[in-house]
Amino acid sequence: MENFVSYTPTKVFFGKGTELEAGQHVREFGGKKVFVVYGGGSAVRSGLIGRIEESLKQEGLAFEEFGGAKPNPTLDHAREGIKRAIAFGADFILAVGGGSAIDTAKAIAHGTANAGTDIWEIWNGRAKLDKSMPVAAILTIPAAGSEMSDSAVLTDVEHDQKRGLSTEFNRCVFAIMNPELAMTLPKYQLAAGVTDIMMHTMERYFIPGSRCDLTDEIAEGLLRTVIKNGRRIMADQTNYDAMAEIMWSSSISHNGLTGLGRKKDFSVHALGQAIGGKWDYTHGATLSAVWEAWARSLYREEGALPRFARYARMVWGASSPDDLTAAEEGISVTVAFFHELGMPITITELGVTPTDEECEELAAEATRGDTRKLTRIKPLGQKETAEIFRNAR
């Protein structure tokens, strides 16, 4: 077991009607001027924004709305939010929505607290982030896990670049989770969310040579829970108990718990983010589109085969005593499950067939111009990564 630091400071308020307590909790965490960040008009039309703002009014808190967060949150939108938050004098950022709204809110918090620094300089590591301001989330889309994670993603549309930032300043001070708020989501969005939750867990799981029994059991239990209840919400998204399991799994999958004792490997996310940055597809769908090609390129490698075999047996119930047979079964049933959800399993199914040249461009983006290697299973440079993109077509 490798050394680790466990830090999950987000206070969670889970259950029916918890969004009505938003004002009380903002005040408890010191907020007085609240910048409310959300995505599309559905949050307004459903009355959710109105209920939240009434809760803020009841606590005597000032607030300003900032809607329009994009499915792949954009740098330009975050920059506009920073200007608005500074002009308003915000001291607390409240996100309402899924990962896109929450990641946008995190970026606005960092930019507002560091008004003299461009947010993209922070995102690319060229400027140090040593302060921010409190962010909280009211979750409506179980998927990204941003409500409890130390991560956030932004896309520079002008340069087709999608970048992630991990820092403890990304941790929300509190998260409100009412599963009822996710019951009206489009099924495709639910399916993409289930995929993203699974991927956050699997990215921490396929690490060769690691032995972390408790962490493995938590990860495997989470994956079984998501598979079971993912099917249930796709059949009936008004099933409160099933949606509650998915929403809680979203948070646990990305708050660090499923990776304690081994350093994470987010190589599939690097592949998916390269696609999302170039073509703006739904994040979870970009991951399912490349996962099989990634897995089949690596599962036979030394140290990887036992992990893939264990995954097949513990998550999917594979019975073969032969590791190779079990691993291949695990990959096949995972891909079949993504298809069952309605997710693409190739980039072509996603909606575009990249040329060889575009595969090279995607690989260059994923590896930062061949300056970083992907996976802890086997270091993948730009050449090997381009081959995965070609095999994923």
**pLDDT tens digits for range 134-176:** 999 999 999 999 999 999 999 999 998 999 999 999 999 999 9
Report pLDDT digits (tens) over 82-133. Answer: 999 999 999 999 999 999 999 999 999 999 999 999 999 999 999 999 999 9
Who contacts 32 (Cβ-Cβ below 8 Å, separation ≥6)? 61, 62, 91, 92
Who contacts 12 (Cβ-Cβ below 8 Å, separation ≥6)? 148, 174, 175, 177, 251
Q: Find the distance separating the first CA and the last CA of the chain, reported in whole Å.
A: 37
Could you give the CA distance from residue 114 to residue 42 in angstroms, rounded to a whole number? 31
263 neighbors 210 (Cβ within 8 angstroms)? no
CA 244 to chain centre: 18
Residues of the chain with CATH 1.20.1090.10: 187-391
Can you read off the two tokens belonging to residue 239?
Answer: 């099933």
pLDDT at 48: 96
Question: Band of the pLDDT at 211, cuts 50, 70, 90?
Answer: confident
Can you read off the two tokens belonging to residue 114?
Answer: 């560091």
Instruction: State the residue for tokens 């270091």.
Output: 379
Could you give the CA distance from residue 40 to residue 45 in angstroms, rounded to a whole number? 9
Beta-bridge partners for 166: 151
Question: Band of the pLDDT at 274, cuts 50, 70, 90?
Answer: very high
Question: Band of the pLDDT at 1, cuts 50, 70, 90?
Answer: confident
Question: Band of the pLDDT at 209, cuts 50, 70, 90?
Answer: confident
pLDDT at 3 over 90: no
CA atoms within 13 A on the CB side of 51: 14
Helix axes 213-235, 323-341, angle to 10 degrees: 30
Residues of the chain with CATH 3.40.50.1970: 11-181
Report pLDDT digits (tens) over 73-89. Answer: 999 999 999 999 999 99
249 neighbors 225 (Cβ within 8 angstroms)? yes
Report pLDDT digits (tens) over 297-345. Answer: 999 998 999 999 999 999 999 999 999 999 999 999 999 999 999 999 9
369 neighbors 382 (Cβ within 8 angstroms)? yes
Q: Across the chain, what does the average pLDDT equal?
A: 96
Phi, psi of 102 (to 5 degrees): -70, -45
pLDDT at 356 over 90: yes
139-174: b (≥16 Cβ within 10 Å) or e: bbbbbbbbbbbbbbbbbbbeebbbbebeeebbbbbb
Higher pLDDT, 40 or 148: 148
**Sheet containing 92-97: which strands, arranged edge to edge?**
11-14, 174-177, 135-139, 92-97, 33-38, 62-66
Q: For the domain made up of 11-181, give the CATH fold.
A: Rossmann fold (3.40.50)
Percent of the chain with pLDDT over 90: 92
pLDDT at 210: 78
pLDDT at 284 over 90: yes
Average pLDDT over residues 353-361: 97
Could you give the CA distance from residue 6 to residue 263 in angstroms, rounded to a whole number? 12
Could you give the CA distance from residue 311 to residue 264 in angstroms, rounded to a whole number? 16
Could you give the CA distance from residue 334 to residue 251 in angstroms, rounded to a whole number? 21
Secondary structure string (H, E, C) spanning 126-137: CCCCCCCCCEEE
pLDDT at 199: 97
Q: What pTM does this model have?
A: 0.94
Beta-bridge partners for 151: 166
CB count in 10 Å sphere of residue 356: 11
Q: What is the CATH number of domain 187-391?
A: 1.20.1090.10
134 neighbors 174 (Cβ within 8 angstroms)? no
Question: Band of the pLDDT at 367, cuts 50, 70, 90?
Answer: very high
Instruction: State the residue for tokens 């499923």.
Output: 258
